[in-house]
């Protein structure tokens, strides 16, 4: 391997364009509402939502790639935090304690102890857009550790009875900067907003995919 290739940034920092899944459902996030980009990496989704007029909190263990956001945009908040060090970011004293978000974005990251708190941190009408690798990905590339791979239907189990599922996919994605086995969901915190007798929430528009 050449010295030049050794010096390339990690793969997740080399991807500059937003995930098509995230971009597809970004319009569902209530206009102007605060958005959390968890494990933000290079900030591709933080930048997407800033461009859409949202205030954005970008969190990661290494935030060097998004340091420009805090200085250039008054709507951007950058938090450097180890999400897995035993200090719950949503718990008492945590950097995100008590904060509610109109949108929460998680892409190519999985740390199960945070998932319930993520759902709880959605404001009424807030949107969870989650996309990461699933079991079977070990046949493609990293991650291969099952701790970092979703089980079939795991995101559905996470939101069941708590959020309305707008879209869900699970399977092999080949045309992607990170090909592999992917599971992804878009779900809205509006189960309590229905005016129907059976409490069925109103449906949301589903934008056709562009990929």
Q: Please report, for residues 1, 14, 142, the alpha-carbon distance to residue 4 in angstroms, rounded to integers and kept in the order given.
A: 8, 14, 22
Residue with tokens 């699970």: 170
Mean pLDDT (the chain) is 88
Does 211 have pLDDT greater than 80? no
- pTM tops 0.95: no
pLDDT at 1: 45
Evaluate whether 193 touches 125 at the Cβ level (below 8 Å): yes
CA 66 to CA 70: how far, in whole Å? Answer: 8
Question: pLDDT at residue 5 above 50?
Answer: no
Residue with token string 């805090």: 70
Instruction: Please indicate whether residue 141 or residue 78 has the higher confidence score (pLDDT).
Output: 78
Whose tokens are 């004293």? That residue is: 93
Location of structure tokens 């459902």: 25
**pLDDT for the residue 197:** 74
**Least confident segment among 44-58, 146-160, 169-183:** 169-183
Task: Please give the residue that has the higher pLDDT: either 145 or 166.
Answer: 166
Full set of structural domains in the chain with CATH: 24-188 (3.40.50.150)
Average the pLDDT over each of 60-64, 144-148, 157-161, 203-207 and give the range with the smallest value: 144-148
């Amino acid at each position: 391997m050449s010295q030049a290739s050794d010096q390339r940034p990690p793969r997740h920092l080399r991807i500059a364009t937003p995930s098509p899944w995230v971009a597809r459902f970004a319009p569902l996030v209530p206009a102007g509402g605060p958005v959390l980009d968890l494990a933000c990496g290079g900030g591709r989704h933080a930048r997407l939502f800033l461009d859409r007029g949202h205030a954005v909190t970008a969190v990661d263990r290494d935030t060097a790639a998004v340091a420009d956001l805090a200085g250039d945009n008054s709507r951007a908040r950058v938090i450097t935090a180890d999400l897995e060090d035993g200090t719950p970011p949503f718990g008492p004293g945590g950097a995100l304690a008590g904060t509610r978000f109109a949108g929460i974005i998680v892409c190519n990251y999985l740390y199960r102890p945070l998932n319930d708190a993520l759902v709880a941190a959605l404001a009424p009408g807030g949107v969870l857009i989650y996309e990461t690798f699933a079991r079977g990905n070990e046949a493609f590339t990293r991650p291969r550790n099952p701790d970092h791979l979703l089980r079939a239907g795991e995101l559905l189990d996470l939101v069941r009875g708590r959020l309305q599922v707008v879209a869900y996919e699970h399977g092999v994605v080949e045309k992607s900067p990170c090909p592999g086995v992917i599971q992804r969901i878009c779900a809205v915190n509006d189960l309590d907003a229905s005016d129907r007798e059976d409490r069925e929430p109103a449906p949301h528009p589903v934008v056709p995919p562009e990929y």
